[in-house]
Amino acid sequence: MGLINTVRDKLRSFLRIEPPQQSTITIQQNLDYYANAAKNRIWYRGNSYELSQLYNQLDVSPTVFWKASCTKGMEIRKIHTGLPKLIVDTLSNIIINDFNGVDFINSDTQKEIWDNTYKANKGDKLLHNCIKDMLVVGDGAFKITFDESVDSEYSIIEFYPGENVEYTRVRGRITEVIFITEYIDNKEKYSLKEHYGYGYIKYRLYRENGDEIPPNSIEQTKWIDGKGVAFDESIMLAVPCIFGDSEQYKGRGGNIFDGKTDDFDALDEAWSQWMDALRAARSKSYIPECLLPRNPDTGMIIKPNAFDNRYISTNNDMSETGCNKITLDQPNIPHESYLQTYITALDLCLQGIISPSTLGIDVKKMDNAEAQREKEKTTLYTRGNLVQLVEEFMPELVKAVICGYQIWHELDIIPPTVAINFGEYANPSFEAVVETVTKAKQGGIMSTESCVEELYGDSKDSEWKEQEVARLKAEQGVQDMNEPMLNSMTAESLAVDSTNNIDEPILNDSSNAATSKLNGAQIASLLNIIQSYKDGAISRGAAISIVVSTLGVSQQSAETFIEEPIKMRI
3-state secondary structure of 145: strand
Q: How many helices (H) and strands (E) does the chain have?
A: 17, 14
Strands in 215-321 per DSSP E: 229-230, 238-242, 284-288, 312-314
CA distance 406 to 400: 10
Q: Is the backbone of residue 101 left (phi > 0), alpha (psi -120 to 50) or beta? A: left
Q: Which residues of the chain have pLDDT under 50?
A: 366, 481-516, 565-570
- What pLDDT score was predicted for residue 502? 39
List of residues 6+ apart from 536 with CB closer than 8 A: none
- What pLDDT score was predicted for residue 507? 45
Do the Cβ atoms of 278 and 332 come closer than 8 Å?
no
3-state secondary structure of 205: strand
In this structure, the dihedral spanned by the alpha carbons of residues 38, 40, 41 and 43, taken in order and rounded to 10 degrees, is: 130
Strands in 238-322 per DSSP E: 238-242, 284-288, 312-314
- What pLDDT score was predicted for residue 512? 43
Both ends of the chain: CA-CA distance in Å? 136
- What pLDDT score was predicted for residue 499? 41
CA distance 40 to 35: 9
Do the Cβ atoms of 405 and 154 come closer than 8 Å?
yes
CA distances from 151 to 31, 145, 349, 385, 396 (A): 41, 10, 44, 35, 22
- Residues comprising the chain, all counted: 570
List of residues 6+ apart from 558 with CB closer than 8 A: 544, 547, 548, 551
Strands in 262-374 per DSSP E: 284-288, 312-314, 327-329
- What pLDDT score was predicted for residue 3? 66
